[in-house]
Structure 1
Amino acid sequence: MKGNEAIAEAAIQAGCQAFFGYPITPQNEIPAYFAKKMPKIGRTFLQAESEVAAINMIYGAAATGTRVMTSSSSPGVSLKQEGISYIAGSRLPCVIVNIMRGGPGLGGIQPSQSDYFQATKGGGHGDYHLVVFAPATLQEMADLTKLAFDVAEEYRVPAMILGDGILGQMMEPVEFSDYTPRPKADMSWAATGNDGSKPRSVINSLYMEPSELESMTRDLFATYGIIAERETLVEEYHCEGAEIIVAAYGTVARVVKSVIAQLDKEEGAPKVGLIRPITLWPFPAETFAKAAAQDSVQSFLTVEMSMGQMVEDVQLAVNGAKPVRFFGRTGGMVPTAKEIKDEILSICKGGAR
């Protein structure tokens, strides 16, 4: 399957009942898949008139406790930010997919990772987070989509699948094993109609009293603390005894693994490991801090398809214990294995960037 199709099929298997979206490259196979399949199984697909309309439809549908999803690519996700903030402030679960393309502005349709700040630092107004999953394979595109629905519903937060144009468009085998959702969360908060059998449900993010808004926000951040404890995901690859630790996610992590395989075959080459955040928020800071404390580790190298965004979280996690260097390509350019390898060898020779 294509990665975009894997996301859509996984969402259907996870019980997604409604999809609202608007076309934009390179994620168009997601709404196309839903448009073809959802009506056949008695579920809802609707192409909205805009990204703004789509995210507000998500807001309304999520308020009923229904599993809902939207998808877009970078400029389209920018248009959704106000609605995403409203959804976070109203404590509603939903899944948002961003298959990133180059920017800023309209940019291009080639793959990018330059929406990291937008995804992990809020994006819209106010104090809030998204739970952000970053798949590196098409199998993870499927598996993490299912997990995103469960996490969103359990904690009443929006969750995001953050991929890039390569993952969305490439094809790999994908297995859809039997899906066992997490135990059903308490949905008594949902607005499902009121026959007098329960208190009236009010879905809102407006708090006129500052003390009430502060209390709500503190409760929300207490939930984020629980999510950070329970849901942080990370892969440590080849890190035992590594001299250089590369930090990368998504497509770039795949390229880094190929570089590590090359270096393993070369006599006298440095030993290189990879730390791959699978959740970009919550960020696996503790994993980086523990690696920085290892005597064998001399340096970190963060590689991204951007001008340097995740590198800031790596620097914060390492906290000055070891040098953190950066290498990136942007505008839709993908770092090659040779470029990454050359950068690693430059670090070993005392080069700085």
Structure 2
Amino acid sequence: MGKVLMKGNEVIAEAAVHAGCKYYFGYPITPQSELVAYMAKRLPEVGGLFLQAESEVAAINMVYGAASAGVRVMTSSSSPGVSLKQEGISYLVGAELPAVIINVMRGGPGLGSIQPSQSDYFQATKGGGHGDYQIPVFAPATLQEIVDLMQDAFDIADRYRTPVYILGDGMLGQMMEPVEFTERKAAELPPKDWATTGTRGDGGPKITNSLRLDPDDLEKHNNHLQEKYSKIKENEVRFENYLTEDADYIVVAYGTVSRIAKNAIKKAREKGIKVGMIRPISLWPFPEKPFYETRENVKAYLTVEMSAGQMVEDVRLAVNGYKPVHFYGRTGGMVPSQEDILAEIIKMAGGDQ
């Protein structure tokens, strides 16, 4: 299969099918409704099951049920809908159930707008629901990267028995680009001997549950989860360095904003400003290594986001006071332009060039 021109939301759906997802439960909300419609048509073609739930709350609990049976399952929504799913996501974490959750972010708070945003970063990377937990979060910048990351997302979910986020935005969901779906060698994953598939001579009934009334038992479980998160931090960090080798200044951006930032960086270099970019691909675990490797030599960092400033906190923690960390953000569905970012780079570098 060669390259095909597709819309972002449909790429997400088809990539999930290629990754072995045959079960989808969701509810339409702009700007990801095409993903729901695509799954409704596509999953029956591969022997799968699509079900439009009566609400986002119902959808995430259906995901819990399917994940308990050991199948590859996905749900998707946009910002307000993901907020409704948070209790169920915490239940998935507590029961250690693998699933993939898509958030095509829109402007908020509240119902906000249907325009692209990155203001759900805190929600995704800091847990989002109740309890001490983390979820791996991946932020693709191109539609082809969605294809590549989707297989990783399902594999990581199964390997660590955890939900995994794919965090996009309205631009990524609505844009069209050529993509190629290639078959990948199946990853070596642990058996799902915990799945609730009935008693078939394999040791008796299985139970999935997040309720632990004994405090000693719950603390042991939480310690186990923290050990799991340490392994994820060690093994699943992803990032891109762009022109950082000789950079005096570094822009930090993720998702679609990083694409705009690359063009601004090219313009800045034409003006003689040596600037590069660190692009986090895994938002959690956050890629601290490229900051450790650059903070001695660069003069300053500039974090650019479609938010009032959320990822910038993780950037400041990684830089740890070694150099200044500046911030530029647009909110409410406004997208920073190449000219906006270039002006901020020039300001960071000390004036007009």
Higher mean alpha-carbon deviation, 243-252 vs 193-202, is at: 193-202
Maintained 8 Å contact 2:300/2:324: yes
| TM-score, length-scaled by structure 2 | 0.97
- Residue identity over aligned pairs, in percent, reads 61
Maintained 8 Å contact 2:268/2:346: no
Q: Which amino acid aligns with 2:286?
A: F
Maintained 8 Å contact 1:14/1:181: no
Maintained 8 Å contact 1:13/1:179: no
Match of 2:333 in 1: 332
Matches within 5 A, 1:98-177: 98-177=103-182
Aligned partner of residue 240 in structure 2, secondary structure: strand
Structure 1 CA distance for aligned equivalents of residues 229 and 285 of structure 2? 8
Match of 1:343 in 2: 344
Q: Which amino acid aligns with 2:299?
A: Q
Matches within 5 A, 1:259-278: 259-266=264-271, 269-278=272-281
Of 44, 48, 52, which aligns to 1:47? 52
Q: Which amino acid aligns with 2:244?
A: C
Match of 2:223 in 1: 218
Task: Compute the displacement of 1:141 (Å).
Answer: 1.2
Structure 2 CA distance for aligned equivalents of residues 128 and 181 of structure 1? 28
Task: Compute the displacement of 1:261 (Å).
Answer: 1.4
Structure 1 CA distance for aligned equivalents of residues 219 and 237 of structure 2? 26
Higher mean alpha-carbon deviation, 137-146 vs 52-61, is at: 137-146
Aligned partner of residue 177 in structure 2, secondary structure: coil
Maintained 8 Å contact 2:60/2:75: yes
1:80-138: CA deviation from partner (whole Å, max 9, x where unpaired): 00000000010000000000000000000000000000000000000111110000000
Match of 2:3 in 1: none
| TM-score, length-scaled by structure 1 | 0.97
Structure 2 CA distance for aligned equivalents of residues 72 and 142 of structure 1? 18
Q: Which amino acid aligns with 2:329?
A: G
Q: Which amino acid aligns with 2:266?
A: A
Of 216, 222, 227, which aligns to 2:232? 227
The gaps in structure 1 that reach 5 residues or longer are none
Structure 2 CA distance for aligned equivalents of residues 293 and 189 of structure 1? 47
- Give runs of ≥4 in structure 1 deviating > 3 Å: none
Structure 2 CA distance for aligned equivalents of residues 103 and 223 of structure 1? 32
Q: Which amino acid aligns with 1:313?
A: D
Task: Compute the displacement of 1:290 (Å).
Answer: 1.8
Higher mean alpha-carbon deviation, 125-134 vs 175-184, is at: 175-184
Structure 1 CA distance for aligned equivalents of residues 195 and 243 of structure 2? 46
Matches within 5 A, 1:8-87: 8-87=13-92
Of 286, 289, 294, which aligns to 1:291? 294
Match of 1:321 in 2: 322
Structure 2 CA distance for aligned equivalents of residues 70 and 51 of structure 1? 9
Maintained 8 Å contact 2:25/2:62: yes
Q: CA RMSD in A?
A: 1.1
Aligned partner of residue 173 in structure 1, secondary structure: strand
Q: Which amino acid aligns with 2:171?
A: I
Structure 2 CA distance for aligned equivalents of residues 167 and 324 of structure 1? 27
Q: How many pairs were matched up?
A: 347
Structure 1 CA distance for aligned equivalents of residues 159 and 325 of structure 2? 36
Structure 1 CA distance for aligned equivalents of residues 296 and 114 of structure 2? 40
Structure 1 CA distance for aligned equivalents of residues 145 and 162 of structure 2? 21
